[in-house]
Amino acid sequence: MALSLFRRKPKEEVKGAEAQPSPDRTLIEELCGSDKELCNASSILVLMNPDLVVKEGVDSFAAKAQEYERAKDAVKARIAYQVAGGIALYEGKLSKAQSLFKKAAEIDPSYTFRRVFDYINKKENAERVLAIAQKYYSRMDKQLTRLTTVT
C-alpha cells in the first residue's frame, strides 16, 4: 500500500493537469500580458533583485567585462556586460543598456538567449522592455515597503 504513493499518475490525468493554465503567474508575466516575446526578453534582461548589483554601478561591471574579454573568458565577459546592461536599464539609460547588451551578444555568440539581445536592440522593443522594467521595479518597491512596515 505504501508503494502506491510513488506510482506515476495515469497519462490522462497528467495531460488534464497540463491543459489548465497556471494561476501562479510571475510579476513579469502579469505585466507583459499575452506578449510572449516581450515576456521572454524582460525575464532575462530585467534585474530581479537589483539591490545586489546596482551599488557597484554600470561602469564597474563594464570594466570587469573588459577584463574578462582581455582574458579571453567570453562567458564571464557576457555575464558582466549583461549585468551592466541590466543596471543601465534599471537606471533608465536605454541607449547605454542597448550598447551593453549588444556587446554581450557580440562577445558570446553561442549564448542560448542571444536572440533577446537582438530583440532589445530595436528601439521600439527597448522602450517596451524599459516600460516593463520600470513597472516591475515600482511594484517591487511597493511590495518591499509594505513588508518592512508590517514587520
Q: pLDDT of 36-95, one tens digit each?
A: 999 999 999 999 988 889 999 999 999 999 999 999 999 999 999 999 999 999 999 999
What is the dihedral sign for C-alpha 38, 90, 51, 114?
A: positive
Question: What separation in angstroms does the CA of 95 have from each of 60, 88, 98, 143?
Answer: 18, 9, 5, 29
* Closest by CA position to 106, among listed 149, 58, 69: 69
Burial of 106 (0-12, 13-18, 19+ CB in 10 A): middle
CB 82 within 8 A of CB 101: yes
pTM: 0.78
3 state SS of 25? coil
CB 28 within 8 A of CB 39: yes
* Closest by CA position to 99, among listed 111, 89, 109, 113: 89
* Mean pLDDT for the stretch of residues 114-129: 94
Q: pLDDT of 7-25, one tens digit each?
A: 565 555 545 444 444 567 7
